[in-house]
Amino acid sequence: MDFEATRLENNTKLLPQIDALRSGEDINVLVQFAKAYLGMFYVIDSAIPAEEKINLLVNEELAGAILQGFVAYTSKNTLPSVQDIGQNLAENKDYNEGYIVLAGMDLIAKKSLADVSALPVTLLNSVIGFYYANKCSHQHAWYEYLLENHTEIVAKAVSQLWQAMVKNNAAYLPGRKFLFGEKPDKTIVQFSILPLLENWTGCKPKILFQMLLLALKHSELEQLQRVCEKRLAEETLNERSRLYLLTTVYLIAPEKYQAVLTNYVGRVKLKVMPMLDFIVQLLTIKNELKVKFNDVEVTQLLKMVAPVFPPQHHVYGALGSLDINSRNVMLLFYYLVQSNDADIVNVIKSLRKARVMKIYSGVIDNLLEIHLRKKNENEYKVPDFNAYVETLVNENKLQGKSNKFDLH
């Protein structure tokens, strides 16, 4: 690119409108220079400092006016709301002026990061929306500053952006790593998870699965129950999503929803499997959940799932390790192994009385034996899960007969 020729041409064309550039009024021109500032033109070396990129394209006077224009436009309280930005983003429409805002915020941050947090919250909401809508490779120090020092501002803005997007049937949420990354951001989760659960009616079941896990960790249970009940009223809700929502409300209000969940699941393997996966995932993080499991609930769940996956030697023994469904059933039994509740023996005996659990009579006998030893032997140590299953295999406790619900 011939920067000298471009510079001369721009000087001639833009000097007459320098005041409109300085005041932030000439948006169309400012958008192009903002893109240059943010390193979006491949013909300009990305290693050149942002302000010097403008100097390549116009003279010093115009460059100063353009930089002032970025800040002037950004500082206006007439920016689109974060909700409007989210709606446009969901509809794949562009707000090109967002690039001006990102450049303006960069300049404000260079002057003083304290000036960033002094901006009106509504304006910050909008610029955070543009941060997600107008992606570029430029490093945004102002955003990192807000995220670290004013997380609640970012959390509220991101939540509003996402809500606007899902209400307009967006399939993908920018910044979703805050929810589904290795370390979800607790503040953003707390602000966003319930509104997303309530409004993201088109999300895939696997995303709903993840959101419910987060909600059970971070949300008030009464509010979560209300949101789940509202979703359950949807006639078009798919089967697996309904199953996850029903299981969640069962855990929050077991007396109200036990019969509902039991009737919905029945003995249908394609319903039992995802419910079992969901329950086991919750058991692995049970100490992090606001909802608490108890022995009675686990026995109720076992009555729903265990008859569908009867113990069989070819699953547990001859072919080696447990398959995933068999392993998950045994993890529910192992929860009862670990129980220290005073009434655990009576709970186990009630499980044995259930006709559908007859195929697990050997496992139930072993449970009672373990708790008898825990009570009477001071030095008895509860085996870990693998040792527990190995003992059951060695003692032929896992050789139940197949039944009509088994598909092996």
Mean pLDDT of the chain: 91
Per-residue pLDDT, 76: 86
Residue 359 pLDDT class (50, 70, 90 cuts): confident
In whole angstroms, give the CA distance from residue 236 to residue 230.
Answer: 13
Stretch 219-237: mean pLDDT? 96
Distance CA 85, CA 128 (A): 10
- Report the pLDDT value the prediction gives residue 355, as an integer from 0 to 100: 85
Mean pLDDT of 105-110: 97
Between 368 and 356, name the one with better pLDDT. 368
pLDDT over 90 (residue 42) = no
pLDDT (0 to 100) of residue 310: 77
Least confident segment among 67-71, 349-353, 365-369: 349-353
- Token readout for 195 is 């509104």
Burial class (CB in 10 A: 0-12, 13-18, 19+), 182: exposed
DSSP state for residue 201 in the 8-state scheme: T
Span 111-146, pLDDT tens digits: 999 999 999 999 999 999 999 999 999 999 999 999
The CA distance from 36 to 285, in Å, is 48
Q: Within the chain, what is the greatest distance between any pair of CA atoms? A: 96
**Tokens standing for 33?**
């220079």
State the pLDDT confidence band at 317, using cuts at 50, 70 and 90: very low
Flag whether pLDDT at 84 surpasses 90.
Answer: yes
Task: Give the pLDDT score at 196.
Answer: 96
DSSP structure string for 24-72? T--HHHHHHHHHHHTT--TTS-TTS-HHHHHHHHS-HHHHHHHHHHHHH
Q: What separation, in Å, do the N-terminal and C-terminal C-alpha atoms of the chain show?
A: 68
